[in-house]
Structure 1
């Protein structure tokens, strides 16, 4: 009876952890989307200035400022700023509308991929905390020695 309660509690804790991961992934997507819209609206305002000869300079300043301030809160901003710089070189896009559309598409795809990557890292961390033995390794693919000792894979 005690083992059954323990397994039920473990299953419940696992479900709560998965819900927490899903919630934070959703929250991260919303923050990424809000940051993208903020950048999109500011760039739209800059590009729609008809008599401004230094539009590219203002966009570059925006890139640097938002990387410094917003980048601490939205990790996706760093690559969004890369997309902004790429946007300056999109010579085939003749109008501001197409440039902003390309930028928004690139930024949103990156935000989605980044959120998926963060979710996978959180799942691995939760598995490691629960003792499910997720192997850790260095960049050469060698397993961590503590993992090998724990699981009997030790060769030395």
Structure 2
């Protein structure tokens, strides 16, 4: 055996885990530090303990919170768009049609929907609000997700076939 080429062997090297557990082994290093051991590993303990290296858990939790917040904001925006409290001014229809509807006392989508349930003629009889304005109004309401009187709902169109 050649002299001076072999590493120094330490028969009582101290191994220390991040959980505080320590034991002695034979090694070429006098002190060994580990992140996980048989006392804290989930496979051996049966409990889930997260070893966070580099802030991965915090980053994941921030992404998860951001995702939840964005989903909640999207749902809130959708509810706002299909709210019957939506004003006529927020609809993308001609200014003249908006003025006619507001002049007739129809300031919200709920008011317009109530008139549509009674009869479409109540709207077309308004001076300055004709069939084209009615068609545009209905188109804009459907685009926002409203179900208009006389429209078939998706449940009604899918009939079971035998």
TM class by smaller structure: 0.3 to 0.5
TM-score, length-scaled by structure 1: 0.35
Greater C-alpha radius of gyration = 2
More helix by share: 1
TM-score, with length taken from structure 2: 0.34
Bigger strand share: 2
Question: Which structure exhibits the higher relative contact order, with contacts defined as CA atoms closer than 8 Å and separated by 6 or more residues?
Answer: 1
